[in-house]
Every structure is written in structure tokens, then in C-alpha cells.
Structure 1
Amino acid sequence: MSLPPIPAEYVITASFVGTMFIAYQSRLNGLERERDRDLFLNEKLAERTHLGDIWGITIDSVRFREKDGFLYRKWKFLTGRISGETTVVVRYQNTTIPGDFWDTPALQHFLDEFKVEVDHLQTDDHLDPTVARFKMETTDPDTIDDFFGTLITMEQNLR
């Protein structure tokens, strides 16, 4: 019993589909994931300290949350760029700073005018040392570190 020959179009189509699937899987495996960025930020920023004359800030931990949605996933697949928000937990050094400190007009202006969006989420001033949480719309460790360094410098200049 002999089998009929396979048409060339079927072989070419099957080869094309297989090649596209391999390329797609390769691209997906090469993209940075939320967990990878989280580990990278923690490695880069953990225990980074900025000290001023009166007070200082030590970065305790960093948590990254990637954006989601159909359009974002397509954009990430095409460009390879990851985007989302970063929550930074810091410890105040040498002094306790109340949570309403961040509601003052000068600091609100600083938060609003910084190069990325920054929100003060919460200050736990009942702890020793005081712990505060900030949310930033960036994934760049240098920008996160620069925010706290600029904050210390600004506070020294205001005195």
C-alpha cells in the first residue's frame, strides 16, 4: 500500500507555523518578568542609606507591580520594556517623622514636581525606627535612589 505524496504547500505551511511558534516562545522567554525586576530592584537598592545632618533614610525593601492588560502585554511583547509601579519601604534614621509631614505644601510640591509620579502612602510613626511607604511610577533603581537623595538635600537647603 503506498501513501499519496504530501503537497508542498502543506509542508511549507507546517514549517512556517513551527518557525513562528519557536520565535514566539523564544521572545516570551527573553522578556523580563515582574519577579525578575523585583529581585533586581531589591539587590540594587536594599540597605541603601542617605544621611543628612538631622535625619536620614534607609531603603528597607522594594516591591514591584507590573502593569497588566491586553494592550500593555502587546506593547511589552513588541518593545521588551517592562513598566509598572514600585512600592518602596524606608526607615527613618536618627529621628521620627510624623505622617502629616508629607502633607506640608513644600513637600507636596516636591512630590508633585519630581520627574516621576511619587505618592506618600503611609507612615508608621508608632514603630522605632519609623517606617514609611512610597509608591513610584518607575522601574529604574537610579531614579528611586535619586528621589531619596534629593529629598535629603532639599531638606538641608530649606533649613
Structure 2
Amino acid sequence: MVPRFCVQCGQMLQERRLQGDHRVRRVCPACGHVAYENAKPCAGVLPTRDGQVLLARRAVEPYLGRWDIIGGFLEHDETPDAAATREAFEETGLTLVLLDLLGIYTDVYGSNGYSTLNIYYIARITAGQPNPADDVVELAWFHPDTLPDAMAFPNHTHHVLSDWARWLRSSATVQQSRKRL
């Protein structure tokens, strides 16, 4: 969301380029406060089992009814790994152990237009059975070749799932090499 008014004094912000800055920023003409538009941190998790990933069908906007990677926004006092496991438990009832950091991706959240910084982990289930809850209406397992086309947040989720499939192939290669030893 692009701020229109100064949070310090309430004056309407103006766009201008600050000295030494290559971007146009929103600046308060009265007090000089700069309203930086920083990305909101999010964390997600890809529970993986038998070459499949668990995805969630969204029960809320944005992207109501589309498949999504399990995850959400970090709380103010939370680390990304704690947020990923908390979101997984809230949305699925599953307890997970994080195996690997898959990657970090940027996007824009829905019609609000604010930037997100999305941190994704590969995980294994340690307890529980998948049960949709919170803002999820359905959960399902997908192989890399049967992933749904209509994904939520398509600017980055397709990249995440492509990276997950690559991780899965490399993980399988390592497992095969260990069996030969």
C-alpha cells in the first residue's frame, strides 16, 4: 500500500528524488519524513512426502479458490522459520521439521499493492494428519508433473514450485548415490 500522508505529522506526502538516491520517494514537505515502501516479510513451507508437495486451496481473498503454498506473514517478533512452522500448523494441523531453505522471492500482495519478501522452506511432516483450517478450504498432494495451473500469487509461486521440483530431483539423485555406496 502506498502511503499518502505522513505518519509523523499528517501532511500529504510528495514524490521527489532525494540527493544520492536513485529512486523517487514519498517525502513529507513539512517535517522531511521519508515514507519508505519496504517489503513485508512472509514465510512459507513446502511439506514434501513421496515426491509430492502439499498445497492449500485458499478460502479467502486474494486469489480465493486458487491453490497456494502454505504460509503467511511474519509476526513482529517472529523468525521466518518459526513463522513457516506456525503457519503450517494453523493452516493444516501438521507439525513439521524444516529440512532446507528453498529460496527467497519477491512479489506484490493482492490489490493492496504492497511488496512482499517471501521465504520458503522444504519440510517433512513429523506429526498430525492434513486437515484444512484457518484460511484454507482444501489440502492436496501434488507431483511435480501434476501441479495446478491456477496458482495464487502467480508472479512467484510458479518459480517456487519449479525450484522445489529441481530440489526434489537433486535430492533423489543424492539418495540414489548413497544407495550405491
| TM-score normalised by L of structure 2 | 0.25
Which structure's residues are more often strand, by fraction?
A: 2
| TM-score normalised by L of structure 1 | 0.28
Bigger Rg, which one:
1
